[in-house]
Amino acid sequence: MRTKVIIDGLNNTQKFRAVINGVFVGDCQVKDLMGSRFPQREQRVAVWNSLMEIAMRKRHGMNMTGFATTTKDGIDIQVDLV
């Protein structure tokens, strides 16, 4: 059975690097968002929202490979596609 796409515009096996509050999380895949790769819910949501932002901008014609922001929870997040 085929696994559904988690984030439209990105493959489930798309690799990315995440830096959360200055700490390098490591090489991850989009499908890791469904597991326990990120210990805190707020961190997982921050990474998820950053990937959604990259995918949305790619669909609108921008060639995005990374995104960095500070969330309203005070989490500094940087996500780069590999």
Claim: this prediction has a pTM higher than 0.85: yes
As given in the structure block, the two tokens for residue 39 are 């210990």
CB 31 within 8 A of CB 13: yes
CB 28 within 8 A of CB 40: no
pLDDT tens digits, one per residue of 42-80: 999 999 999 999 999 999 999 889 999 999 989 999 999
- Predicted local distance difference test score (pLDDT) of residue 69: 96
